[in-house]
Amino acid sequence: PVVNSCRDPKTLSFGAQKEEDDKKKTKLEQLASTANRVLNLNTHDSGDQKKYEKGKADLKSVQLFAVDVTLDPETAHPHLILSGDEKQVHHGDVRQRLPYNPKRFKSCVNILGKQSLSSGRFYFEVQVKGKTDWTVGVVTESIDRKEDITLSPEDGFWTVWLRDGNKYDANDENPVCLSLKSQLQKVGVFVDYEKGLVSFYDVDTADQLYSFTDCSFTEKLYPFFSPCTNDGGRNSAPLIICPVKPPLNIETLDFGGKKEYETKKAELKSVQQFAVDVTLDPDTAHPALFLSDDGKQVHDGDVWKKLQYNSKRFKKCVNVLGKQSFSSGRFYFEVQVKGKTAWTVGVATESIDRKEDITLSPEDGFWTVWLRDGNKYDANDENPVCLSLKSQLQRVGVFVDYEKGLVSFYDVDTADQLYSFTDCSFTEKLYPFFSPCTNDGGRNSAPLIICPINHNN
């Protein structure tokens, strides 16, 4: 059995966990990028291909039982902050004053899903990307929520976790160390109540991580999540409950739909070949912004950090630029905007005003699109253009052709071109531009994430 600690297998209260976190002195190295996780069957021998195909078939068979899971704020530890759609959770350092609730976790930074299961099968997926510590699984309704707890089936927990950035375990009666080829980005959880089965999957590789078998379920089961403590910002990324979407099958489209989709996909691929590696520049980041160690994620942290004056830094608006600049040629990058209610993404000139309130327009050196109020998308041209979308954006592609004076934005999932700024007159360096916007009381706490380009997708 293992205890619900965010650092080591000892029974720790929340305060002890945080104290242990603060002792951590070294930064964790990134073990693998998402790009390295993309499988290319052509590089595998026949045995590897068969193994992958079998794993993929197994994963698809359980994804058929996907359910819509949302987080239950009544169970959330007072340090946890939930997004407005109740799909994301992260540790917020400051303990909120909340009314007593018998459902709420008091000692450990945990939260349950709203949905329960007492028969049948269900499946859900959780993004764990960018985190150094987390716990995910299912639990019984009667678990202890007020004291330190032991993560074991005997105590009503069927979970896997990550600790210290690279230690994966399945928390069985005797903990099982999980040997993985690369860091997990998304975890799938499947339960068959009647069979007494709880299985965990690496969604990207289709590998089954671990299965608890011969479980004896006698009460309701709930999805269980712990983002663990913030760890001084090193573990600030949220856990995100993801929609389970089967891959688009163009065979189900009519002829006109196929042709249109293939044309759009070809155009997107033609600009993706100019993908560049963009990282965030901490010297430009507004003091309220928190950046991940790898410089790929940014979110608003509510609290202003005390930073030295820097002429590059944004003072009034919660913005940050990329480190990389471009004064010729073509370049492309992608940004995950999933789970956010407000954001701005695009490119800006080097000479933009960084100390006062700014106007997002080409005339002032900004070529951007944004989301406001959860559903209002605009391209910020000289006269703002409302963008009519069929569904919420999850990932935005940004393409620039310097010589042609072109800035185009794409919905990466549908391959739709969202908007193009044309006939731009560039005369100085351009920088990628990002604003996660304010936290909005936790409703907009999800980070903006600069994503690697998946050319195989």
Q: What is the pLDDT of residues 72-127, one digit of tens each?
A: 999 999 999 999 899 999 998 788 888 888 899 988 999 999 999 898 899 999 99
Strand bridging mode 416-421 / 111-112: unpaired
More confidently predicted of 99 and 36: 99
DSSP 379: E
* Local confidence band at 25 (pLDDT 50, 70, 90 cut-offs): very low
Give the pLDDT of residue 27.
Answer: 36
The answer on pLDDT for 247 being more than 50 is no
Distance of CA 302 to the CA centre of its chain: 19
Tokens for 121, please give them.
């099968």
Query: Is the Cβ–Cβ distance between 457 and 358 less than 8 Å?
Result: no
Q: What are residue 396's phi and psi, to 5 degrees?
A: -110, 135
| C-beta separation of 381 from 396 below 8 A | no
pLDDT of residue 258: 60
Angle at the Cα of 15 from the Cα atoms of 11 and 18, rounded to 5 degrees:
95
Residue 242's beta-bridge partner residues? 125
CA distance 441 to 94: 12
What is the dihedral sign for C-alpha 32, 33, 35, 39?
positive
Question: CA 413, CA 415: separation in Å to the nearest integer?
Answer: 6
| Selected residue with higher pLDDT from 395 and 56 | 395
Is the CA virtual torsion 336, 342, 347, 353 positive or negative? negative
Comparing C-alpha atoms, which of 139, 134, 144, 211 is closest to residue 168? 134
pLDDT of residue 253: 43
What confidence score (pLDDT) does residue 47 get?
Answer: 59
Q: What is the pLDDT of residues 54-67, one digit of tens each?
A: 778 889 889 888 99
DSSP 421: E
Percentage of residues of the chain with pLDDT beyond 70: 85
Residue 109 in tokens: 């930074």
Q: Using alpha carbons only, what angle is made at residue 147 by residues 145 and 151, rounded to the nearest 5 degrees? A: 70
- What three-state secondary structure class fits 286? coil
Among candidate residues 155, 211, 186, the one with its CA nearest the CA of residue 4: 155
Tokens representing 435 are 């604003």
What integer pLDDT is reported at residue 249 of this predicted model?
44
Kindly list the structural domains of the chain, giving each domain's residue range(s) and its CATH number in brackets, ordered by start.
2-242 (2.60.120.920), 250-451 (2.60.120.920)
- Average pLDDT, integer, range 287-297: 94
The pLDDT, as a whole number, for residue 7 is 34
Q: What is the mean pLDDT of residues 171-184?
A: 92
